[in-house]
Each structure stands twice: as structure tokens, then as C-alpha cells.
Amino acid sequence: MTRFEIERRAFLCASGAITASAAIDSLTRFAAADEVPTLGQGEFKYRPVPGWGVLDAKTPVKNCSAMVTDSQGRIYLLTDHTSNNVIVYDKEGRLISKWGGRFTGAHGLEIVDEGNREILFITDLSLNRVFKTTLEGEILMELTCPKSTGKYAVEKEYRPSWTLHLPDGDFFVLDGYGKDYIFRYDRDGKLLNYFGGPEGGIDHWGPHGGVIDTRGPGDPEMIIAMSDQQSIKRLSLDGKLIETIHLPGSNPRMIQIVGEYLFVPHLADNWPKDRESRGYVSVLDRDYRIVSNIGATAPNYVDGKLQPMHEQGGLFQHPHDLVVTADGAIYVPQFASGNTYPIKLLPA
């Protein structure tokens, strides 16, 4: 069971338009609860929690790339700051533990229940590797560049961004910063097959993150966040294209399934053309239509076609991943965002 297989929760909240009219440079400036803005539309409105997860100088962060939660409700943050690559929080944002100093290019993080234990998968862009570890940081497996495929002349061409996991233990590695191939391994780390890349119709700067969709009614499929391509791709587990969902004004980096909905963090609304542009979070329904943009303009469909979306409110800088927990809270780590800690949002 992966972190995405959680109960569906109702997100019931008051109606009304986005009320955030001014940029939010620091959430800590909101002294009273009624000063905190409400973001999003429809049944998916949220308010940020000022100061959540902010720690002292003894526990620094650099790029906050990914987050997961374990069965005990503990929250794991991955950062490429080598003083503490993994920071473990409780849901109130208090430090439980921290570990890791090896992962200079720490990027993707997944948690998997193997039945008798939970383990982590970490991708590292600088070390060109995928690591399987215990929750306390012991390395159990280390996967290097799959040179046997003949696709890589040197190891540095391989820059894995994320892993996706099946219930039987098989998993996929997305080479989202390298050559855009997707590799399937068994639970012991044996390479089974691969697909994608330019000859497989996967554009460069595309397969950044994603999820295995087991909602049915058909076979499981892979939903890939195509980052700079401003789209999501649905693929069969052997790489055949099912559908491309275009999301103009987006930059999807990861996906979490919550019941019948997809929660998607976008790095920015005009990346990489404008690296000062800011990001937001989208909620998509079962038909892949956006029903709420948290920190952006409301979705607008004209003759069934989604119009370009734009960041609004200034809450986020560059969202890179997210976790939606069983109580409906959203936790958003950010990349290239001035060494900021994650943002927590609660249903309004």
C-alpha cells in the first residue's frame, strides 16, 4: 500500500470567492485568525496555518522537495540540506527527529508499506541514484544508472526524479531530469523493462512525478505530472498513452489521489520562461477537470477547453509536492523558495 491509498474525506466549507487580495510575504504577519486569507473555490477552500513547521537554525532547510506521512501520522520532509536531509514532524509542526547528510541532490520521496515495515524511497539528482531506506535512515538498497539499457553513455546523464509503486512491490523510476525514460523494477531492484524517452513520446523536462491509479474500473494506470509540458499524461503500465490532459498556465510536479480527486502542486504559472512567477495547487475531479485552484485564479472552461490559469494571492513561491492527510489538511513543501519551511493549509 502506498501513501496515496487513503480514505476519502469530505471537504465541506463555506461558499464565496477568493478573499486573498494582497500578496503574503510571510504567514507569521497574520496575528489573528480572521486575518488569514481563504484560498480556493467551491468545496475546496483552505486557510494557511501561520508559522507551521518553522524550526531553528539547528535544523536548516534548503530546497524542500517532498513530503510523506507514515502510519503513525508522522510527517517526513525531504530537503537537500546535508545537515539533515530528512526532518520528521508531528502534525503540529514540532520536530520529532532528523537524519541524513549524504543526499546532496535529494529530490523525490515515497513511503511504502511492505507488510512488516514501512520504508522510504529517495531519488537524488546529484548522486544519480535511487535509495531505499528505513524510516530511520538505514540504506537498504541503492540503484545506480541502468547502463545495461544502452541509453546512457555516462552515469551523470541519469537523473531520477521520483518513484511510483505498485501493491506487489514492483516500482517505476522516472528519469525526469535525465533522458525521460521510465524504468520498471521488481521489489528486489531487478530491472524488468523500460519505456518512454523521445522515441516513446515523452518530451524532455516532462516525467517529473506521478502516481499509480488503481481506482478502476479498468486496469491500473500511471498518471504522470509532465512539469514544463504543462500537462498530465495517463499511461498504461507498459507505457502506452491513454490521454493527455492539457493544463495551460501550470507546471505540475507531483500528484496525490484522495478519493475521487487529484491534488496537484504547480511550481509556477509561467515556468521556465519567468522564474519569478509563482505557483499554486489544483484539485481535479474524476474527469480530470479542475474544480479548485488554491492560490490561483478560478478554473475557466470555454467550450470545454481550460483557459490559462494564473497564480493569485502570493501565498506560494514554488510548490514541489504535497501531502493531504486524513483530517483534510494539506502540507506543501517548496523548491527554490528561499529556504522556506513547508506550508500547512486547513479546510476553511
Instruction: Map 80-115 to HEC letters.
Output: CCCCCCEEEECCCCCEEEEECCCCCCEEEEEEEECC
List of residues 6+ apart from 147 with CB closer than 8 A = 155
117 φ, ψ (degrees, to nearest 5): -165, 160
The confidence score (pLDDT) of residue 4 equals 34
Which letter does DSSP use for residue 226 in this model? Answer: -
The confidence score (pLDDT) of residue 203 equals 86
The confidence score (pLDDT) of residue 35 equals 67
What is the SS3 assignment for 200?
helix
Q: Where are the domains of the chain?
A: 27-347
3-state helix vs strand vs coil in the chain, percent to 5: 5, 40, 55
Instruction: Give the integer Cα–Cα distance in Å for 193 and 279.
Output: 35
CA 77 to the chain's CA centroid: 12
List of residues 6+ apart from 257 with CB closer than 8 A = 4, 211, 213, 215, 263
C-beta of residue 47 within 8 angstroms of C-beta of residue 38: yes
In terms of phi and psi (left: phi > 0; alpha: psi -120 to 50; beta: otherwise), the region of 115 is: left
CB atoms within 10 A of CB 85: 25
The confidence score (pLDDT) of residue 18 equals 28
CA 308 to the chain's CA centroid: 21
Parts of the chain with a pLDDT under 70 = 1-35
256 φ, ψ (degrees, to nearest 5): -125, 135
Q: How many residues does the chain have?
A: 348
Give, in order, the Cα–Cα distances in Å from 332 to each of 78, 90, 144. Answer: 12, 15, 29
pTM: 0.91
- The grid coordinates listed for 238 are 507498459
The confidence score (pLDDT) of residue 27 equals 52
CATH superfamily label, 27-347: TolB, C-terminal domain (2.120.10.30)
- The grid coordinates listed for 222 are 500511471
Q: Could you tell me whether strands 301-302 and 64-69 are parallel, antiparallel, or unpaired per DSSP bridges?
A: unpaired
